[in-house]
Amino acid sequence: MKKWKFLFAALMMSVGVIVSSCGDDTEETDPGPSLTLKGGTGYTSDDATLEIGTTIKVGVVGGKSSVSGNKLTRFKCLFTSNNIPTTLLDTTINSDTFDWETELEFTSVGTGRISFELTDKGAMKTEKGFNITVQGPETVKYSNIELGSWNDPIGSFFATSEGVAYNVAQTSTIPSNQAKIDFLFFKGVDNGNTIAAPDDVDANTISDLKLNLWTNKNETRFNPSTLTAAQFDAIGTNYVFPNFDLNQQSTKMNQLAAGDVILFKTQSNKMGYIKIISLYTKGDKMKIDVILEK
């Protein structure tokens, strides 16, 4: 009996040693290097929707693994759009910590992902990133605007800031209203149906418009456009207007017909389109839609 008890005791002791040894041999999992996106005022670190031309600041702070202590060896920053990655930075390093930031400007519309990757000496990697959506400027649209002759109560003058038409009585002696007007309508013997800037020479020869009394004449300029009426109608709440061609700029667009679309730029540099809906056969009247940068 004593021998059995000894053997049993010895067996129990052996088991105990085995269990204890298993616990001591467990290794802590290496998380790899740490990587944190810089946030707070001035930084972008989460999914964002931006207007074209926007510049953002991004940055990261990295550190070696708390387990392995391996030094950091490589940092990459990528922008991926349409499954095509563009390397913004790929650099080798040899340090325990890493601190980096830059500014990024977005000059075209679309979607993409900005990603950051940090690698250490043990080939462990950590990746962080966020998505970016870039869209055109926000637009405002005015529909079925009627413009008339100098003696029509609906008025000949249009303010894009308000979407409102003004008549001669409301503009001729009120400078504050004159300052709102971006273009006007007239129908002339030579020019036909015309949209013109307040400073247009021909418009200023029409005495009934009383532009000679104005002290504020906005210098709106026009370009011809290949945009169709259907394409105009399809413009949504955000849109990238084409570059304005200074070589083709004019103070007026004449001989207009229903379905025509013209491009304009206000004195405050807002871009927009005018679509001619209809031209009345009786009286000097025009109906238009207008869409421009908000």
What are the residues facing 293 on neighbouring strands?
Answer: 139
Residue among 267, 281, 271, 158 nearest 225 (CA): 271
3-state SS class at 263: strand
Give residue 6's pLDDT.
28
pLDDT at 21 over 70: no
C-alpha Rg value of the chain to the nearest Å: 35
90 close to 117: Cβ distance less than 8 angstroms: no
Lowest-pLDDT choice from 22-31, 33-42, 185-194, 223-232: 22-31
- Residues whose CB falls within 8 Å of the CB of residue 47, separated by 6 or more in sequence, listed in order: 130, 131, 132
Considering only residues 23 and 10, tell me which one the structure prediction assigns the higher pLDDT. Answer: 23
Q: How confident is the model at residue 28 (pLDDT cuts 50, 70, 90)?
A: confident
Q: How confident is the model at residue 15 (pLDDT cuts 50, 70, 90)?
A: very low
Give the separation between CA 161 and CA 167, rounded to whole angstroms. Answer: 16
Q: How many CA atoms, within 13 angstroms, populate the side-chain half-sphere of residue 17?
A: 6
pTM reported for the whole predicted model: 0.75
Give the separation between CA 130 and CA 245, rounded to whole angstroms. Answer: 37
**Both tokens of residue 188?**
């002339």
3-state SS class at 125: strand
Q: Phi-psi region for residue 82, left (φ > 0), alpha (ψ -120 to 50) or beta? A: left
* CATH superfamily to which 34-135 belongs: Immunoglobulins (2.60.40.10)
pLDDT at 29 over 60: yes
pLDDT at 71 over 50: yes
Domain boundaries, the chain: 34-135, 139-293
Give the separation between CA 128 and CA 116, rounded to whole angstroms. Answer: 5
Average pLDDT of the chain is 91
**pLDDT tens track for 117-169:** 999 999 999 999 999 999 999 999 999 999 999 988 899 999 999 999 999 99
Stretch 247-268: mean pLDDT, rounded?
97
Query: Measuring CA to CA, how many Å separate 177 from each of 102, 162, 180?
Result: 45, 11, 5
Q: What is the dihedral of CA 9, 10, 16, 22, to 10 degrees?
A: -160
pLDDT at 185 over 70: yes
Give residue 126's pLDDT.
97
